[in-house]
Chain A
Amino acid sequence: MGSISLKNVSKVFGAHAVIPSIDLDITDGEFVVFVGPSGCGKSTLLRLIAGLEDVSDGEIVIDGKKATDLPPAKRGLSMVFQSYALYPHMSVRSNIAFPLKMAGEDKAVIDKKVADAARVLNLTDYLDRKPRQLSGGQRQRVAIGRAIVRQPEAFLFDEPLSNLDAALRVNMRLEISQLHQQLKTTMIYVTHDQVEAMTMADKIVVLNRGRIEQVGSPLELYHKPDNLFVAGFIGSPKMNFISGAPAAAYQAHTIGIRPEHLALSKEQGTWRGTVGVAEHLGSDTFLHVNADGIGTLTARVSGDFAVSHGDPVFLTPDVQRLHKFDEKGLAIR
């Protein structure tokens, strides 16, 4: 089954250590998302697991077997690439059948598996088209189809949605989640988009500069970030950070409060400020408030809280949901 564990894995390009050293355990059937800013090594980590890059040191164990020196094809993994990487001169059918053909499967078996995959992914009508005759979403589905026919131990997704437009991205996100429910296969998904990470993952791995900052379920990361980086990366709009005298009042070097945990009032509150920009989304309004002696704070209020630029407002943080950090940026619990 598809359990994967990394032991002390590192990757060095020349003198530059992209990944200093990582330990990670992924249990069978989990949907794990690697998330982090660009250049944090998340794609490199995925490629190490896939076998497309050699590890500089450490050990990769897939399904209980040492896979560190196995070639990509022998690891029993399938990968969906950012550019889809479909074979342009082959029809959709041949594209999906390619891994089976390479495995030397029977023609009848191939036809059946391709038909099954096409049905699952709604591609039956497009089997004889060439990739360039398909839309972005359809191409994405063909790439997924090519990955699932092999019935791999685990799927690897490398930012698969970044080439799609916003509406389609939401759709495909849902489809991939549904696919995971259906197949119950381990999936590792790389993205820089924390919304994708939050919505899809069973377990999120937050990476920064080749190091794991925190591993946990989406809500764990949201409620109990280990450090400033995770606190700032997870959640939208971003958490507000305040340091200096207001933070000292709570015995912390820095305090963090999420926009949704700031109560606003026109009459009274802990901090006083004036409204800078108000972003009206209908259901919610994001207010950028210039708080006196603190700086700009983002607050999320209900859509019917009527204020506009220049209005004075008072903000009160929800003390229960205040995050405290020490000088090193680690959470104080």
Chain B
Amino acid sequence: MATLHTRSAARLMIAPSVLLLLAWMIVPLAMTIYFSLLRYNLLMPGMEEFAGLSNYTYFLTDPAFFQAIFNTLAIVLGVLFITVIGGIALALLLDQPMFGQGIVRILVIAPFLIMPTVAALVWKNMFMNPVSGLFAWLAKLVGLQPFDFLANAPLFSIILIVAWQWLPFATLILLTALQSLDEEQKEAAQMDGAGAWSRFFYLVLPHLSRAITVVILIQTIFLLSVFAEILVTTNGGPGTQSTNLTFLVYAQALLQFDVGGASAGGIIAVILANIVAFFLMRMIGKTLEA
């Protein structure tokens, strides 16, 4: 059916949506680039002037910038580490036949359905609060000094909160992958004398590799832009200890009213995200091919 005629007709048909999508992407990008080259402060309306690349030099030499890059990477890698390992463990547990399997599975998915601000507030006020939090109560129960998580380990606390939210997602994807593993293969490995650990290492883990890649890809996309959890818990602080790139751009634009500098930061974030995407795609290409 793919004659020359049908192909050109098809191109004509999809042209509007392609153009729309392109405009949707190009216009904001172009405007951001334009703003990033201006001295544009909301406190001084009407005083915009061309500033060249000074916004970029300012943003890149800001000590908070390197802290933010480090924090962004720490959040992405930390959450990925916890969710992939925890997800595999939970998926293995949920794959076992047990009483009330359906209800347990729904309970496991629940955190994913709670919106980030609510989840973060629950963690902040009910778990991590050094006076009235559950962790403080537990610490006091065994005679320890309560630990103020958000003040003393802000980045770790945020990683913990975000990991808690994303664990169900990883578990769900890995559980479905686990269920697609051929029963006869497991039995064959059993006959071949493989113990539980060998079966996991030689059979289950390679089978899961594809699903793990998908989890890493999708989570990385979302984890690069974690925002709500930081805003409602630490507000990027103390200092800039829990500021990631997204939060730094927000602070630049809406706390310091410097739209030009924030736009430059946004463009830098886009470039960094593309670098990450490049490596991710190469990694995924390899796994998905095999």
Contact = CB atoms under 8 A, between A and B. Distances in A.
B187 A52 contact: yes
Contacts of B49: none
Contacts of A92: none
B187 A81 contact: yes
A102 B191 contact: no
A102 B193 contact: yes
Given A98-B202, A102-B198, A85 B193 contact: no
A72 B182 contact: no
Contacts of A285: none
A83 interface: yes
Contacts, number: 61
Nearest to A152: B191
Nearest to A52: B187
A99 B193 contact: yes
A298 to B, nearest CB: 38
A150 B203 CA distance: 19
A106 to B, nearest CB: 16
A150 B198 CA distance: 17
A146 B193 CA distance: 12
A272 to B, nearest CB: 54
B290 interface: yes
B69 interface: no
Interface string B159-187: 00000000000000000000000101101
B205 to A, nearest CB: 10
Chain A's interface size range is: 20 to 34
Contact of A83 (B182, B195, B207): B182
A73 B203 contact: no
A78 B191 contact: yes
A103 interface: yes
The majority secondary structure among interface residues of chain A is loop
Given A85-B184, A89-B290, A73 B198 contact: no
B137 to A, nearest CB: 46
A85 B189 CA distance: 9
Contacts of B189: 87, 98
Contact of B191 (A79, A89, A103): A79
B184 A102 contact: no
B188 interface: yes
A50 interface: yes
A296 interface: no
B206 interface: yes
Interface in A72-97: 72-73, 77-79, 81-83, 85-90
A148 B184 CA distance: 18
B184 A73 contact: no
A11 B110 CA distance: 41
**Among the interface residues B185, B192, B203, which one has the most CB atoms of the partner chain A within 10 A?**
B192
Nearest to A79: B191
B145 interface: no
A85 B188 contact: yes
24 contacts: A52-B187, A52-B190, A52-B191, A72-B191, A73-B190, A73-B192, A79-B187, A79-B188, A81-B187, A82-B184, A85-B184, A85-B185, A85-B187, A87-B185, A89-B207, A98-B192, A98-B194, A98-B202, A99-B191, A99-B193, A102-B198, A146-B188, A150-B192, A150-B193
3 pairs of A and B residues whose beta carbons are closest in the complex: A73-B193, A85-B188, A99-B192
